[in-house]
């Protein structure tokens, strides 16, 4: 009975969330079209709404831990759920994301992504995207901020393992910026591939910075170790059995 109720509430949550995304997208569109501030305001408003309604409608509480960076840094983040995107976006002062190039052509969303200064990446052309991003920063089109990238390249369901890609190191090397890894357990409560939302404490945690000076092997080894170890700890804290993690 409890599960059935949770399913009903989850469906209501998903539907109202989609409606609010559409309404806010339309409402803020004129402002976003002419100013990055409008795009940021729209996305922060939506993220705030989605996180708030998740708490009282489906029982997902959220918590951000660690020191949130304010300067120009890289954010290599564990990605399990759309929820971790919203939580990261909501707390960063100037958030930008590495995104699929195809999203630029999505109605409304493409304009918002462009105005936010997100970096579109074509498959197999990451190096060109990095150069374009650096040129945009130097020209002033995109102000320095926090650039989030997902080292595994996609959402990874809880209990599964996907190898880390070298994209974060390419940005680390080319930009000369410090990397601030992010761990999460959001996938336990907002899973990939289902409308069911599960109650509990969803956490996004900013970890100790990785300073410049590491080789590719050193950087990638350290990055994967700290993100995976801390994400596993957060999932274990929420009741996940680590013995089910497949590597």
Using CA atoms of 78, 80, 84, 85 in order, give the dihedral in degrees to the nearest 10. 90
Q: Are the CB atoms for 154 and 165 separated by under 8 Å?
A: no
Return the pLDDT at 195: 95
Return the pLDDT at 54: 98
Q: Comparing C-alpha atoms, which of 8, 133, 151 is closest to residue 79?
A: 151
CA distance 106 to 102: 7
CA distance 141 to 156: 32
| Whole-structure pTM value | 0.90
| Burial class of residue 37 in the structure, from the number of CB atoms within 10 Å of its CB (0-12 exposed, 13-18 middle, 19+ buried) | exposed
Q: What share of the chain is helix, strand, coil (3-state, %, to 5)?
A: 55, 15, 35
Return the pLDDT at 141: 58
What's the DSSP call for residue 100? E
Q: At what angle do helices 2-34 and 36-58 cross, to 10 degrees?
A: 170
Buried b (16+ CB within 10 A) or exposed e, 113-137: bbbbbbbbbeeeebeebbeebeeeb
CA distance 191 to 164: 20
For the chain, the maximum distance between any two Cα atoms, rounded to a whole number of angstroms, is: 58
Q: For residue 190, how many other CB atoms are within 10 A of its CB?
A: 24
DSSP per residue over 177-238, as a string? --B--EEE-GGGTS-TT-S----EEEEEEE---B-S---HHHHHHHHHHHHHHHHHHHHHHT
Number of alpha carbons in the 13 Å side-chain half-sphere of residue 123: 4
118: Cβ–Cβ under 8 A, 6 or more apart, which residues? 96, 97, 98, 99
Return the pLDDT at 111: 80
CA distance 215 to 226: 16
Q: What is the pLDDT along the chain (247 residues), one digit of tens a residue?
A: 889 999 999 999 999 999 999 999 999 999 998 888 999 999 999 999 999 999 999 999 999 999 999 999 999 999 999 999 999 999 999 998 887 777 777 777 778 888 888 877 776 665 666 666 666 655 655 667 899 999 998 899 998 889 999 889 988 988 889 999 999 999 999 998 899 999 999 999 999 999 999 999 999 999 999 999 999 999 999 888 776 554 4
Q: To which residue do tokens 């650039």 refer? A: 147
């Amino acid at each position: 009975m409890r599960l059935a109720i949770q399913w009903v509430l989850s469906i209501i949550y998903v539907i109202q969330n989609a409606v609010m995304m559409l309404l806010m997208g339309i409402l803020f569109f004129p402002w976003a079209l002419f100013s990055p501030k409008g795009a940021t305001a729209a996305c922060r408003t939506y993220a705030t709404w989605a996180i708030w309604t998740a708490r009282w409608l489906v029982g997902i509480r959220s918590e951000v831990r660690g020191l949130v960076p304010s300067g120009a840094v890289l954010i290599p983040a564990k990605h399990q759920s759309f929820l971790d995107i919203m939580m990261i976006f909501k707390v960063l002062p100037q958030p930008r994301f590495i995104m699929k190039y195809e999203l630029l052509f999505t109605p409304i969303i493409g304009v918002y992504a462009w105005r936010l200064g997100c970096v579109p990446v074509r498959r197999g052309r990451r190096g060109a995207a990095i150069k374009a991003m650096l040129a945009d920063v130097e020209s002033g089109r995109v102000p320095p901020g926090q650039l989030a990238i997902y080292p595994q390249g996609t959402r990874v369901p809880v209990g599964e393992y996907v190898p880390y890609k070298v994209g974060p190191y390419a940005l680390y090397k080319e930009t000369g910026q410090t990397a601030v890894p992010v761990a999460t357990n959001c996938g336990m409560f907002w899973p990939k591939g289902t409308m069911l939302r599960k109650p509990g404490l969803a956490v996004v945690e900013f970890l100790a910075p990785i300073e410049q000076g590491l080789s590719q092997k050193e950087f990638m080894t350290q990055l994967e170790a700290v993100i995976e170890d801390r994400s596993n700890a957060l999932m274990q804290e929420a009741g996940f059995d680590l013995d089910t993690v497949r590597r």
